[in-house]
């Protein structure tokens, strides 16, 4: 089988490489000639473990190619995957679909009317986009033999290849049996591992993707608020998460508390679904609250650092470990660091920082930060160490050495990487999220309030 993938961003490149690994002949298209040139040389523009090897192997095997010429790429294909960006539109929070629609029109003009083709939306697109793509294509080329299909991705950055190769499910939304058969053919290797295929309508598939991401965002936000409550009442959020997560109806995953979710998907998708729901007169009040709580949380995190530093960071140095929105990525999009670091600087702190992969991108986004060559260098002479991303290499730090390097032995761990007891045994004043120290001190500043009388 043959496919073309339009857009070599995160989704397009991972999907293209993985389909070629399935044995499909894949041509990836991008308007950015420099990027295509680099991809042809085997240079991967994003940080994704295993992607370089996969691209190299399948390019060598002749199954994966890259071009700027869309017309050439779509010649003789069974399906065209549209995987261009859908950023948040400035001003109103809706997803900006101009790239998707422009790609649809370009594809329409290039397709061969003598050959049936499935046009697949792979980007996360609001309900109704597939129908609009079909309308655009039909208008541009009424003679074309095509169907539109929605096939959302559920890839996590950092484990995208594993998520593609061994997914929990594949969702395929189309009204056409012919399109369904083509899609089944493309995902054939997944039948061997008995991956569930959810065959449904265009609209259902489009909504499923948003429902999945907003549900996960809500789950994280729930445990974050429970963590705050744990701090007030002296409970341990990890035990609460375990205690509820073992209930199969709730599930163990995505119950890790932290500074608030970030990344390229959750902030954008929660906002877009809130807008869609309002437009259709069925507001999603839970998700509206999730968006609001998460925004406030990220902004409020700097206050924890200020409190841990004795009420002020003016003239102090904060050593930050990790700035990306999560580990195993260089992605800074909506990272909590983008709220927390400027707030600390505004409060008078000097910030030194280290991140294993994100510093290049972060340099532009976080002016005034002193970038260090490793974790220990970022902490040298600091009045506080602050963990913002749970990179594995930070888990293995020698905490006694950290305590010695710091001017004041304060460690604020917003990802709960360390064992509170071990941190305190190393001589650190340790605070984290939703846990009290086993040595009896509260994990984070506690405000004692009188219980409200009924």
Known catalytic residues?
Answer: 265
Q: Which of 153, 339, 413, 429 binds ligand UDX (CB under 6 A)?
A: 153
Contact region with ligand UDX (CB under 6 A), list: 140-148, 164-172, 230-238, 255-263? 255-263
Angle among Cα 165, 13, 140 to the nearest 5 degrees reads 115
Is 353:371 a contact under the CB 8 Å cutoff?
yes
Is residue 435 involved in binding ligand UDX (CB under 6 A)?
no
Is residue 326 involved in binding ligand UDX (CB under 6 A)?
yes
Is residue 325 involved in binding ligand UDX (CB under 6 A)?
yes
In whole angstroms, how large is the CA radius of gyration of the chain? Answer: 24
The separation between CA 324 and the C-alpha centre of its own chain, rounded to angstroms, equals: 10
Contact region with ligand UDX (CB under 6 A), list: 47-55, 152-160, 305-313, 430-438? 152-160
Tell whether residue 51 is among the known ligand binding residues: no
> For ligand UDX, which is the closer residue by CB, 322 or 409?
322
Tell whether residue 154 is among the known ligand binding residues: yes
Tell whether residue 155 is among the known ligand binding residues: yes
Is residue 210 involved in binding ligand UDX (CB under 6 A)?
no
Tell whether residue 284 is among the known ligand binding residues: no
Is 385:406 a contact under the CB 8 Å cutoff?
yes
Three-class SS state of 53: helix
Helix or strand (DSSP H, E) at 321? strand 317-321
Q: What is the 3-state secondary structure (H, E, C) of 124-181?
A: CCCCCHHHHHHHHHHHHCCCCCEEEEECCCCCCCCCHHHHHHCCCCEEEECCCHHHHH
Three-class SS state of 110: helix
CB of 93 to ligand UDX, least distance (A): 18
CA distance 20 to 38: 19
- C-alpha distances in Å from residue 152, one per residue of 149, 189, 192, 421: 10, 18, 21, 43
Q: Which of 19, 81, 146, 154 binds ligand UDX (CB under 6 A)?
A: 154
Is residue 265 involved in binding ligand UDX (CB under 6 A)?
yes
Q: Which of 263, 319, 358, 420 binds ligand UDX (CB under 6 A)?
A: 263
CA distance 253 to 256: 8
Q: List phi, psi (to 5°) of 270.
A: -65, -45
Contact region with ligand UDX (CB under 6 A), list: 173-181, 254-262, 400-408, 416-424? 254-262
Q: Which of 35, 256, 304, 316 binds ligand UDX (CB under 6 A)?
A: 256
> For ligand UDX, which is the closer residue by CB, 180 or 326?
326
- Site residues for ligand UDX, 9-68, by CB under 6 A, read none
Contact region with ligand UDX (CB under 6 A), list: 95-103, 252-260, 372-380, 428-436? 252-260
Is residue 261 involved in binding ligand UDX (CB under 6 A)?
yes
Is residue 391 involved in binding ligand UDX (CB under 6 A)?
no
Is residue 157 involved in binding ligand UDX (CB under 6 A)?
yes
The 79-82 sheet, strands edge to edge: 64-67, 25-29, 2-6, 79-82, 117-121, 146-150, 170-173, 197-200
Is residue 356 involved in binding ligand UDX (CB under 6 A)?
no
> For ligand UDX, which is the closer residue by CB, 256 or 317?
256
CA distance 189 to 165: 9
Q: How many helices, marked H, and strands, marked E, lie in the chain?
A: 19, 14
- Site residues for ligand UDX, 69-108, by CB under 6 A, read none
CA distance 193 to 191: 5
Sequence-ordered list of residues with C-beta below 8 angstroms from that of 72, at least 6 positions apart, any chain: 27
Is residue 266 involved in binding ligand UDX (CB under 6 A)?
yes
Contact region with ligand UDX (CB under 6 A), list: 115-123, 137-145, 149-157, 304-312? 149-157
CB of 209 to ligand UDX, least distance (A): 8
Tell whether residue 268 is among the known ligand binding residues: yes
Sequence-ordered list of residues with C-beta below 8 angstroms from that of 73, at least 6 positions apart, any chain: 4, 6, 27, 28, 29, 67
Q: Which residues bind ligand UDX (CB under 6 A)?
A: 153-157, 213, 216, 220, 254-256, 258, 261-266, 325-326
Q: Which residues are annotated as a binding site for NAD(+)?
A: 30, 35, 86, 124, 157, 268, 333
């Amino acid at each position: 089988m043959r496919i073309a993938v339009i857009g070599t961003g995160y989704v397009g490149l991972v999907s293209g490489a993985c389909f070629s690994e399935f044995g499909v002949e894949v041509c990836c298209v991008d308007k950015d000639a420099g990027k295509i040139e680099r991809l042809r040389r085997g240079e991967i523009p994003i940080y994704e473990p295993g992607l370089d090897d996969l691209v190299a192997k399948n390019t060598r095997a002749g199954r994966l190619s890259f071009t700027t010429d869309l017309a050439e790429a779509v010649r003789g294909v069974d399906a065209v995957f549209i995987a261009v960006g859908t950023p948040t539109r400035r001003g109103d929070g809706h997803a900006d679909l101009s790239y998707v629609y422009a790609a649809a029109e370009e594809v329409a003009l290039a397709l061969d009317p003598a050959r049936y083709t499935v046009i697949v939306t792979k980007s996360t697109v609001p309900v109704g986009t597939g129908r609009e793509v079909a309308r655009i294509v039909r208008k541009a080329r009424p003679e074309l033999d095509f169907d539109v299909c929605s096939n959302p991705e559920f890839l996590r950055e950092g484990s995208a290849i594993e998520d593609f190769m061994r997914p929990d499910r594949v969702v395929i939304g189309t009204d056409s049996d012919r399109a369904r058969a083509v899609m089944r053919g493309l995902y054939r290797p997944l039948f061997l591992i008995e991956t569930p295929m959810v065959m449904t309508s265009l609209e259902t598939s489009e909504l499923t993707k948003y429902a999945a991401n907003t549900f996960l965002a809500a789950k994280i936000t729930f445990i974050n608020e429970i963590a705050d409550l744990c701090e007030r009442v002296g409970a341990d959020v990890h035990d609460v998460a375990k205690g509820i997560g073992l209930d199969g109806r709730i599930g163990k995953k995505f119950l890790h508390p932290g500074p608030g979710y970030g990344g390229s998907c959750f902030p954008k998708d929660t906002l877009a679904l809130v807008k869609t729901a309002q437009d259709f007169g069925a507001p999603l009040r839970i998700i509206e609250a999730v968006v609001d709580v998460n925004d406030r949380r990220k902004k409020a995190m700097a206050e924890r650092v200020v409190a841990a530093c004795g009420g002020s960071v003016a003239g102090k140095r904060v050593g930050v470990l990790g700035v990306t929105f999560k580990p195993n990525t260089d992605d800074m999009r909506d990272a909590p660091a983008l709220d927390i670091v400027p707030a600390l600087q505004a409060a008078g702190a000097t910030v030194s920082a280290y991140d294993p992969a994100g510093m290049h991108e972060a340099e532009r986004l976080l002016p005034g930060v002193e970038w260090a060559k490793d974790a220990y260098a970022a902490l040298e002479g600091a009045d506080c160490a602050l963990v913002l991303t749970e990179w594995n290499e930070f888990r293995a730090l020698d905490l006694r050495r950290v305590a010695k390097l710091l001017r004041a032995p304060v460690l604020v761990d917003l990802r709960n990487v360390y064992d509170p007891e071990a941190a305190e045994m190393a001589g650190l004043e340790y605070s984290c999220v939703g846990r009290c120290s086993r040595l009896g001190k509260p994990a984070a500043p506690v405000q004692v309030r009188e219980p409200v009388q009924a």
